[in-house]
Amino acid sequence: MTPGGGPDDGLWLEDVEEGARYTTAEHEVTEDEVLSFARDFDPQAAHLDAAAARGTFFGGLVASGWHTAAISMRLNVTSGMPLANGWIGGHIEADWPTPTLVGDLLRVELAVREVRPSRSKPDRGMVVVDYETLNQHGEVRQRTTAHLLVFRRPEPTVG
């Protein structure tokens, strides 16, 4: 692990290329985890109970959108764009075009939209990424834009 908390061979600001693309590993969504996340963070009928969910707008059990967001984060930090200082998000925008279902095999596909060095702080910059969370049928469960704080490679300390 680097001093920043990311992978040893991770990317610093000068290593990130506009247009670069990353695809994560996959994560299978289970009913247990949908219910567990709902109990902890989004206790609404559509996420809490398969029978009660039938009477809702969704017509059946669906994962909380925030659960999809959290799974996407896990995929990004464990098998997505490997930032040396880890993923430090400052601003995000997200849509949930379709709800995540039990049995979905989720992956994240990411593209670097922009690398924007800071004008005032020469040791860092902002990386803007667009990513989609998709299931095994290519259905988009979440569409996200994230602004990430990324540092330049630290200067070696001279004793």
Residue ranges that bind its own copies, judged by CB under 8 A:
1, 3-6, 37, 40-46, 52-53, 55-57, 64-66, 69-71, 73-74, 77-78, 85-96, 149, 151
Q: Closer to its own copies by CB, 69 or 127: give it.
A: 69
Q: Which residues contact 1 (CB under 8 A, 6 or more apart)?
A: 7, 8
**In the complex, what is the shortest distance from the CB of residue 111 to its own copies, in angstroms, rounded to a whole number?**
20
**In the complex, what is the shortest distance from the CB of residue 40 to its own copies, in angstroms, rounded to a whole number?**
7
Separation between Cα atoms, residue 25 and residue 151, nearest integer Å: 25
Q: Closer to its own copies by CB, 22 or 66: give it.
A: 66
Q: Closer to its own copies by CB, 3 or 156: give it.
A: 3
Separation between Cα atoms, residue 30 and residue 104, nearest integer Å: 8
**In the complex, what is the shortest distance from the CB of residue 67 to its own copies, in angstroms, rounded to a whole number?**
8
Q: Closer to its own copies by CB, 47 or 134: give it.
A: 47
**In the complex, what is the shortest distance from the CB of residue 25 to its own copies, in angstroms, rounded to a whole number?**
13
